[in-house]
């Protein structure tokens, strides 16, 4: 089995590549190493993956390229013919999509189209791709279910992720390409993204700077530890969607189709109040944060919560990491990485 992972230098991509390599699976990694956040962190992740033991076995190959570079992506597929594709590359960030919308169209729409085209032309066995809990938009019915309405996004980032789901279904239908979309819920942990709230909080608390807390702290997020996310992806790799010829005759699920297509929430299914999350960080740092309360930001939602029953029934997925353990592991990594 050859697995192509786009976004290999990213947070989730790095952890996934590391796990696959430890399982003796050949991995072709792609990333454009853009400057959306600290490039040195991305390079440090790649250095971890670029270990001699992996390279000697010929397991690890890396290409620095943009997904929207059609010729480059096609050449990589021609040369390696991956059987499994995991598309984690995307321009991330809800708030940044308001500042730089074009970046989201280039990476998340044009780039994903190139992945879909190569997947069908080179007959991939399974395409797994990152969607997001943001597709639920302003939905207030909790927990979020795959059967909830997702046609009212509140950010361009969310709109591109919903577009990915629709594009994937089209290719599953037209070309019999098995696709699985994963709606990630607030992933956190070591080697995380510096633009994420928990990372920013930790940095500012240690520097003695005030942290901005939006909506007066009345925010809930389904914080999901990275190891649980990776375990879920591994389980999904092993379960290729099949056609359901009786789909139209059933009480239809939005997660399924007559085509080989699936959509799943992947989260912790236990939302945490933002203030409690901050308190947990404070406890492990031994420092109380200076707090600056702010109004809700454009594109944000007050709460997210994942109903994960469909994924659990499909793969046996069961998150195991509680908040205290997850935050402790992140803080331990942060203090070591940044030499505190």
Question: Quick one: DSSP state of residue 238?
Answer: T
Question: Quick one: DSSP state of residue 249?
Answer: G
The single residue of 63, 96, 104, 157 carrying the catalytic annotation is: 157
> Apex CA 155: angle with CA 88 and CA 112, to 5°?
30
Please give the Cα distance from 245 to 237 (Å, whole number).
22
Tokens of 32: 């454009």
Task: Report the sign of the C-alpha dihedral through residues 309, 267, 109, 104, in that order.
Answer: positive
How many angstroms from the chain centroid is the CA of residue 200? 19
> Apex CA 116: angle with CA 160 and CA 12, to 5°?
60
Tell me which H or E stretch contains 8: none
Residues 201 and 288 sit within 8 Å (Cβ to Cβ): no
Tokens of 94: 């809800």
Please give the Cα distance from 42 to 45 (Å, whole number).
5
State yes or no: is 246 an active-site residue: no
Tokens of 162: 């919903």
Residue spans of beta strands (DSSP E) within the chain: 2-6, 26-31, 60-64, 84-87, 126-132, 179-184, 187-188, 211-214, 220-221, 224-225, 261-266, 272-273, 291-294
Task: Report the sign of the C-alpha dihedral through residues 144, 272, 158, 9, in that order.
Answer: negative
For residue 45, give every residue at least 6 positions away whose Cβ sits within 8 Å of its Cβ, in sequence order, or none.
9, 10, 14, 191
Please give the Cα distance from 330 to 332 (Å, whole number).
5
Active site residues: 157
């Amino acid at each position: 089995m050859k697995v192509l992972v786009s976004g290999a230098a990213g947070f989730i991509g790095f952890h996934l590549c590391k796990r696959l390599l430890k399982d003796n699976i050949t991995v072709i990694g792609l990333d454009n190493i853009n400057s959306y956040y600290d490039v040195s962190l991305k390079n440090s992740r790649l250095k971890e993956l670029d270990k001699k033991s992996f390279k000697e076995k010929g397991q690890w190959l890396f290409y620095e390229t943009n997904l929207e570079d059609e010729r480059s992506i096609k050449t990589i597929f021609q040369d390696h013919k991956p059987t499994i594709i995991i598309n984690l590359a995307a321009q991330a960030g809800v708030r940044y999509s308001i500042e730089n919308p074009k970046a989201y169209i280039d990476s998340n729409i044009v780039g994903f189209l190139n992945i879909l085209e190569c997947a069908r032309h080179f007959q991939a066995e399974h395409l797994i791709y990152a969607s997001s809990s943001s597709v639920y938009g302003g939905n207030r019915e909790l927990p979020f279910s795959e059967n909830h309405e997702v046609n009212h996004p509140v950010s361009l980032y969310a709109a591109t992720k919903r577009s990915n789901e629709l594009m994937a279904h089209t290719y599953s239908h037209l070309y019999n390409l098995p696709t699985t979309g994963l709606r990630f819920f607030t992933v956190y942990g070591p080697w995380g993204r510096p633009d994420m709230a928990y990372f920013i909080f930790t940095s500012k608390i240690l520097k003695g700077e005030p942290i901005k807390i939006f909506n007066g702290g009345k925010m809930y997020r389904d914080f999901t530890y990275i190891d649980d996310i990776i375990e879920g992806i591994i389980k999904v790799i092993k379960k290729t969607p099949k056609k359901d010829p009786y789909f139209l005759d059933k009480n239809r699920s939005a997660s399924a189709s007559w085509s080989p297509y699936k959509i799943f929430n992947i989260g912790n299914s236990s939302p945490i109040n933002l203030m409690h999350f901050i308190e947990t960080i404070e406890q492990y740092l031994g420092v109380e944060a200076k707090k600056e309360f702010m109004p809700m930001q454009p594109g944000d939602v007050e709460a997210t919560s994942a109903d994960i029953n469909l994924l659990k029934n499909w793969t046996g997925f069961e998150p195991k990491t509680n908040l205290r353990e997850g935050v402790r592991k992140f803080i331990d990594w942060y203090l070591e990485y940044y030499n505190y």
